[in-house]
Amino acid sequence: MTRFIGKTAIVTGGSSGIGAAISQRLTNEGAHVIIWDKIPPNDLKKNNSLTHIEVDISNWGSITKAIEKTKLKKLDILICSAGISGPNEKTWEYEISDWFKVFDVNLHGTFFCNKVCTPLMIKNGYGRIINIASIAGKEGNPNASAYSASKAAVIGLTKSLGKELANFPITVNCVTPAAVKTDIFNQMSQEHINYMLSKIPMGRFGAPEEISSLVCWLASSECSFTTGGVFDVSGGRATY
């Protein structure tokens, strides 16, 4: 497929997990992808269509410097995939510093990226924004209140921005996966991992490639009448 020939995309958290799978598929279909991540992807030297910019998305100053370093002629696609799980603790036992850290990355980082990239898309006269939320943002996972609340806020941000840009040829959507087996599992307790698996009717975790296939449709020109949408990839877990 060649849906993204001539397109430029920024993917946050694109060096691993879901972000890496999305970046790979975009480049396979012709896009030039700029990865915003603290660490470079393993295949950076092997893929001429990838560029890496070191960014701390939770820091507005780092975001503005990244835009300057990226030196974009135009921006067509933004995919916000960077995120952390935070500790698995009861809400009343949650450390204040951990709460803020989860929100700084998952919500504030997504907002910063949406904020800085939207004017570039308006100038370009075209854009696709996809924010990676979570089924936890719709249903709320026990022992993951910060993660669940931050991802719920990402859904709200997506809906608001989608409506604000409805008169532009720019769509804004989010994806709400159930648990996908990536390195983020290293941040979780085994008990919590087992809980997430027990909630998926298909009886297995998702694969990053399954998420990337949906994301890349949302990032394509085919997605022209869908904005402010929330798309489940949950193995049957989603209840609404």
Query: Which residues are the active-site residues?
Result: 147
3-class SS string, the chain: CCCCCCCEEEEECCCCHHHHHHHHHHHHCCCEEEEEECCCCCCHHHCCCEEEEECCCCCHHHHHHHHHHHCCCCCCEEEECCCCCCCCCCHHHCCHHHHHHHHHHHHHHHHHHHHHHHHHHHHHCCEEEEEECCCHHHHCCCCCHHHHHHHHHHHHHHHHHHHHCCCCCEEEEEEEECCECCHHHHHCCHHHHHHHHHCCCCCCCECHHHHHHHHHHHCCCCCCCCCCCEEEECCCCCCC
